[in-house]
Amino acid sequence: MAMAWVWTLMVVLSLVFGICTGRTEAVGTAALQGAEAAVELCFSMAGVICLWTGVMEIMSRCGLTEKLARCFRPLLRRLLPRASGDTETLAAVSANLSANLLGLGNAATPLGIRAARRMARGTEGIASDELCRLVVLNTASIQLLPTTVAGVRAACGCASPFDILPAVWLSSVLSVTAGLLMARLLGRLWRT
Amino acid sequence: MEFSSLLVPGLLAVTAVYALGRKVDVYGALTAGAGEGLRITVRILPALVGLLAAVYMFRASGAMDWFARLLSPALNALGIPPETAALMLVRPVSGSGALAVGSDLIKTCGPDSYLGRVAAVMLGSTETTFYTIAVYFGAAGITRTRYTVPAALTADLAGFAAAAFSVRLFFGS
């Protein structure tokens, strides 16, 4: 529903601004151009996206996801000490993290939800500190290969769409760190 | 030779050899995964049509410039280019909306320009925060989310500032 408001607001504001600046004609043409550009963009980035989702599928079928998941367990024991006491939650969270890293969003969400449901048991609808931390971890992107963005860049004629990777990794790490630090700080102030 | 020029062919070859060594039907997995990719593309097409139409209107009417100018003092203080204001506002709310605004920036500024790169890094290093929070807490039956929203939005804001900073660091501006 939020998007219904955003879309309507954008269109109405465009009309109001268009009338004020006397560019109503340009606004009308722009709407049609935008729709056309969307189809062009989708078609030109489809190839890159398909290729990489294919590679990700190979990775998950040869057990790379599980291997990654095992690497995360020591880290998760420190980040979510109480939840890690339960082996099944720990397995779900680490699989959730490794699916996120590989960009398998469709696989990551059900795994994360399974972990969240187990962590929420007996809390009467109040999020525990560890559950907040898990959700913050999932709202920050930690994808190793941002394939959709690479697809967009390739569609715009970029010769090496993956050259932004070091910058993406650095900002992902900084973003996750800031989120977790803020969660820790607020967790101290915000007693239930 | 740059690291990124090795990445694509290297990753394809290493994955294929490793998977074949573990007796995975590499080609079958590749085509099955590519089919999933096509479904993803088709699924975002309708949203992209609606949103890019609105984004183009918004830009043509001069509203985008006005909002960018309004927010620019605060953004400049964080080192974030004000042209990305619209992208930052949409990013936590809608994934396809952010893709529409971001790809418009990448296209108009050029994928290898400073702004084009910042937009790409912003898209790649943040998530659709509110959607994720709604899905997780909805499924877990949590009604009191406490400080999750402010903490997650801090992560987003830090990601945006870090995107502008890291593109300057790796590519210059």
pLDDT digits (tens, 9 = 90+) for A57-75: 898 888 887 888 888 889 9
By Cβ distance, the residue of A18, A112, A155 closest to B136 is A112
Contact (CB<8Å) A11/B54: yes
**Which of B38, B49, B55, B56 to probe by mutation at the A interface, max A CB count within 10 Å?**
B56
A31 domain residue, yes or no: yes
- Is B14's Cβ below 8 Å from some Cβ in A? no
pLDDT of res. A48: 86
Residue A139: inside a domain:
yes
Q: Nearest CA of chain A to the CA of B37: how many Å? A: 4
Q: Which domain holds residue A51?
A: 2-17+27-189
3-state DSSP of B83-113: HHHHHHHHCCCCHHHHHHHHHHHHHHHCCCC
Closest CB from A113, A127, A143 relative to B145: A127
ipTM above 0.85, yes or no: yes
Flag whether A92 is in a domain.
yes
Cross-chain residue pair A17–B170, CB shorter than 8 Å = no
Chain A hits for B43, CB-CB cut-off 8 Å, are none
Q: How many domains does chain A have?
A: 1
Q: What is the pLDDT of residues B81-101, one digit of tens each?
A: 999 998 998 899 888 889 999
Q: What is the pLDDT of residues A122-171, one digit of tens each?
A: 888 899 999 999 999 999 888 888 888 999 999 999 988 999 999 999 99
Query: How many A×B Cβ pairs under 8 Å?
Result: 352
pLDDT band for B48, please (50, 70, 90 cuts).
Answer: confident
| Spatial distance between the Cα atoms of B126 and A179, rounded to a whole number of angstroms | 11
User: CA B147 to CA B132: how far, in whole Å?
Assistant: 15
Q: Is residue A22 part of a domain?
A: no
- Write out the two tokens for B112: 């290898």
CA distance from start to end of chain B: 22
Cut 0.90: pTM above it: no
CA distance A186 to A19: 45
For residue A55, being part of any structural domain is answered with yes
pLDDT-based confidence at residue B24 (cuts at 50, 70, 90): very high
Residue A13 belongs to a domain: yes
pLDDT (tens digit per residue) in B110-169: 999 999 999 999 999 999 999 899 889 988 989 888 999 999 999 999 999 999 999 999
DSSP chain B: --HHHHHHHHHHHHHHHHHHHTT--HHHHHHHHHHHHHHHHHHHHHHHHHHHHHHHHHHHTTHHHHHHHHHHHHHHHHT--GGGHHHHHHTTT-HHHHHHHHHHHHHHH-TTSHHHHHHHHHHHHB--HHHHHHHHHHHHT--B-TTHHHHHHHHHHHHHHHHHHHHHHHH--
Residue B60 and residue A27: Cβ atoms within 8 Å?
Answer: yes
